Amino acid sequence: MDDWLRLQLLLLAIELGVTIVGLMIAIVAHEVGHAVAGYAIGLRVARIGLGPLEIRGYDRPRVRLVPSLHAGVVLVPSDPAAGPGPLRWSLLISTAAGPLAGIAFGAIVVAQAGGLRLPAPLAVMEVAGQLSLLLGVLNLLPIPTREGIADGQRILALLLRGRQGAQILAGTLLLGEALSGRRARDWDPSLLGVMERSPEDQFARMLLYSVAMDRGEVETAGRQLDAAVALRNDHWNATDAVLFNEAAYFAARHRGDARAARTWLGLADSWAVVDYMRLRAEAAVLCAEGRPLEGRQRAVAGLAALERARRRDADLSREQLEELARGASTTLHPLTDRLSPIRQHNVS
3-state secondary structure of 52: coil
* 62 closest CA partner among 83, 50, 48: 48
Q: With left for phi above 0 and alpha for psi between -120 and 50, is residue 163 left, alpha or beta? A: alpha
Residue 117 pLDDT = 81
* Mean pLDDT for back-to-back runs of 10 residues, the chain (348 residues): 77 87 93 93 88 76 76 84 82 95 95 82 87 94 78 94 92 90 93 92 93 96 95 73 95 96 91 90 96 95 91 89 80 40 38
Say if residue 187 is exposed, middle or buried (CB neighbours under 10 Å; 0-12, 13-18, 19+).
buried
Residue 233 pLDDT = 67
For residue 202, give every residue at least 6 positions away whose Cβ sits within 8 Å of its Cβ, in sequence order, or none. Answer: 228, 231, 232, 239, 243
| 132-153: b (≥16 Cβ within 10 Å) or e | bbebbeebbeeeeeeeebbbbb
Amino acid letter, 188: D
Residue 339 pLDDT = 37
* 178 closest CA partner among 76, 265, 102, 256: 76
Query: How far apart (Å, rounded) are the C-alpha atoms in residues 178 and 187?
Result: 8
3-state secondary structure of 203: helix
315 membership: H or E segment, kind and range: helix 315-326
Residue 207 pLDDT = 94
Within 10 Å of residue 76's Cβ, how many Cβ atoms?
A: 24
Residue 336 pLDDT = 37
Rounded to 5°, angle at Cα 253 from 249 and 259: 75
Distances (CA, A) of 303 to 24, 251, 310, 322, 334: 36, 21, 11, 7, 26
Residue 143 pLDDT = 82
Query: How far apart (Å, rounded) are the C-alpha atoms in residues 45 and 65?
Result: 18
Query: How far apart (Å, rounded) are the C-alpha atoms in residues 318 and 307?
Result: 9
Query: How far apart (Å, rounded) are the C-alpha atoms in residues 271 and 253?
Result: 23
* 58 closest CA partner among 80, 89, 88: 80
For residue 291, give every residue at least 6 positions away whose Cβ sits within 8 Å of its Cβ, in sequence order, or none. Answer: none
- How many Cα atoms within 13 Å fall on the side-chain side of residue 17? 8
Residue 303 pLDDT = 95
pTM (two decimals): 0.83
